Amino acid sequence: MKDLTINTAKSCDLPPVFTGRHLIDGVWVKGSETFERVSPSHDIVVSRSAKAGEAETEAAVTAARRAFDAGVWSQLSAKERATVLLQVADLIEANVARIAVQETLESGKPISQARGEVSGAADLWRYAAALARTSHGDSHNSLGEDMLGVVVKDPIGVVSIITPWNFPFWILSQKLPFALAAGCTVVVKPSEVTPSSTVMLGELLIEAGLPAGVCNIVLGYGEPVGSLMASHKDVDMVTFTGSTAVGKQITQAASGTLKKVALELGGKNPQVIMPDADLENAADAVTFGVYFNVGQCCNSSSRIIVHEDIAKAFVARVVEMSRKVKFGDPLDESTQVGAIVTADHNAKIDAYVQEAINAGARVELGGGPLEVEGLGPQFYQPTVVTGVTPDMAIAREEVFGPVLTVLTFKTLEEAIKLTNDSDYGLSAGIWSTDIHTCLEFARRAHAGTVWTNTWMDGYPELAFGGVKQSGQGREIGKYGYDEFLEVKSLVMRVGRDSRAPWVETGA
């Protein structure tokens, strides 16, 4: 570990323990039970939150249902809804520092990345506001001289939003402002690991003037809160981001009422490196792609597929870059990789690596937990694993940590086959200076997003989501907004009825 770049503990004043409460029908509710979050990096309690049960969840759903049926939000003009969303965006930007510090302490991610996540989320709110103002349906004036058809879009109703721990503020902002822009009311459950930034956003929603009952927040665990939010008869849609296993459970829970389900799940995302690529830029992007957000990212490029002619040199360059990536104290401004979210997850990451070694793979760098002076034990070394075969678990399953696996290929056909040989299909990428190669790969890769000569660039305008077991439905962009709308056809007869009567009355 001496050849790694480690930022030891930084001396700084930490904020007081954050108190999280439920937000139900516009009122902050303490609840009778609480749970605590211990920081994965600093090993101290950083938040104490109300713990919801069935009663609080029922109350939140009831409030959302009542608010929707009363039309206090859905019947406002799009201009009025957009005005509130824009105010929320301004308030987010004014509170970036406070929210980012709390998110870093709860999640273990570097403070610079937490600030980028929170500040960047404001743009999602502004884009959703723009969609509210510009959304429209269709008209059909060619159905006959006495007929007019109009297709309108109505808000789907009450939406359950269940979010994960890896990007708690960003992922909530991929869902909530679009649901609100559409006119829906919502019940939100953040991960019990990172609840506080969602509560902080709730404070901003109230300050922006969102009516009571439109957004309700319940804190707690999947059982009973998440399962009830997914199965409740008064909920019209559930949108979830998290593991594929839990996504399947949510689909089963929702099946009893046939409500709409949108899922953004796991990924085992490949980057294909062709021999004609800009290898320096590709190596930098691979290094970023596997270590960003501590590797705990659904879009992590944890699987690279490198042409055999350049594989040895390319891996050597990635290893060299990996040694320079700054691991350690997430409150240090220069840190690029922080702590693993839980001790259990840290052990799970290591288990994948050790299993691969036992199966014949080679560790070129790292391969075990990382000790950081003055901080807790939940860190993992930058790890690069070669000699991997496509059947190994480390090449097929989502490790969700700073671990890169390397596969090799001889032809583009083989690279595409390896790309698609996965249960997942969230994202994929290719590096080549040949546009024809890039286009062929983009057309044939089974993925919701394909990057060429870049990695993980995203914009509010572009839809995000996966295929196969990476999920269903889309988030952000116009397509993500449309997920929260139901299409209704209006068929109107205008002027005189030109039809022959169906019933002859003899008149």
Query: pLDDT tens for residues 154-167?
Result: 999 999 999 999 99
pLDDT tens digits along 16-65: 999 999 999 999 999 899 999 999 999 999 999 999 999 999 999 999 99
Residues with Cβ < 8 Å from 88, sequence gap 6 or more?
125, 177, 201, 204, 205, 208, 210
Q: Which of 404, 414, 359 is nearest to 381 (CA)?
A: 404
State the residue range of the domain holding 245.
Answer: 12-265+470-489
- What's the distance, CA 226 to chain centroid? 17
Q: Are residues 200 and 310 in the same domain?
A: no
pLDDT tens digits along 99-126: 999 999 999 999 999 999 999 999 999 9
Which amino acid is residue 87, in one-letter code? Answer: Q
Answer whether residue 129 shows pLDDT above 90.
yes
d(CA 148, CA 418): 52
Q: Are residues 357 and 301 in the same domain?
A: yes
Q: Are residues 217 and 344 in the same domain?
A: no
- For residue 465, being part of any structural domain is answered with no
> Per DSSP, what are the bridge partners of residue 487?
153
Pairing of strands 34-38, 45-50: antiparallel
Which amino acid is residue 95, in one-letter code? Answer: N
Beta-carbon neighbour count of residue 328 at 10 Å?
Answer: 27
Q: Are residues 103 and 182 in the same domain?
A: yes
- For residue 460, being part of any structural domain is answered with no
Q: Are residues 221 and 169 in the same domain?
A: yes
Q: Are residues 312 and 436 in the same domain?
A: yes
Residue-level pLDDT at 503:
87
- For residue 393, being part of any structural domain is answered with yes
Q: Are residues 281 and 240 in the same domain?
A: no
d(CA 401, CA 243): 14
Residue-level pLDDT at 1:
59
Residue 355: active-site member: no
pLDDT tens digits along 345-381: 999 999 999 999 999 999 999 999 999 999 999 999 9
Mean pLDDT over all residues of the chain?
A: 97
Q: Are residues 253 and 320 in the same domain?
A: no
Residue-level pLDDT at 507:
58
Exposure string over 349-358, b if 16+ CB within 10 A, otherwise e:
bbebbeebee
Answer whether residue 440 shows pLDDT above 90.
yes
Number of domains, the chain? 2
- For residue 205, being part of any structural domain is answered with yes
Structural contact between residues 171 and 55, judged by C-beta atoms closer than 8 angstroms: no
Q: Write down the catalytic residue from 184, 215, 297, 298.
A: 298
Q: Within 13 A of 61's CA, how many CA atoms are on the CB side?
A: 24
Domain of residue 96, CATH code: 3.40.605.10
pLDDT tens digits along 72-94: 999 999 999 999 999 999 999 99
Beta-carbon neighbour count of residue 94 at 10 Å?
Answer: 12
Domain of residue 318, CATH code: 3.40.309.10
Structural contact between residues 182 and 134, judged by C-beta atoms closer than 8 angstroms: no
Residue-level pLDDT at 11:
86
Q: Write down the catalytic residue from 56, 103, 117, 264.
A: 264
Q: Are residues 261 and 378 in the same domain?
A: no
Helices 78-94, 96-107: axis angle to 10 degrees equals: 70
Residue-level pLDDT at 24:
98
Residue 297: active-site member: no
- For residue 463, being part of any structural domain is answered with no
- For residue 506, being part of any structural domain is answered with no
- For residue 6, being part of any structural domain is answered with no
Residue-level pLDDT at 496:
72
Q: Are residues 158 and 307 in the same domain?
A: no
Pairing of strands 467-468, 237-241: unpaired
- For residue 218, being part of any structural domain is answered with yes
Q: Are residues 408 and 298 in the same domain?
A: yes
Q: Are residues 252 and 292 in the same domain?
A: no
d(CA 200, CA 88): 12
To the question of pTM greater than 0.85 for the whole model, the response is yes
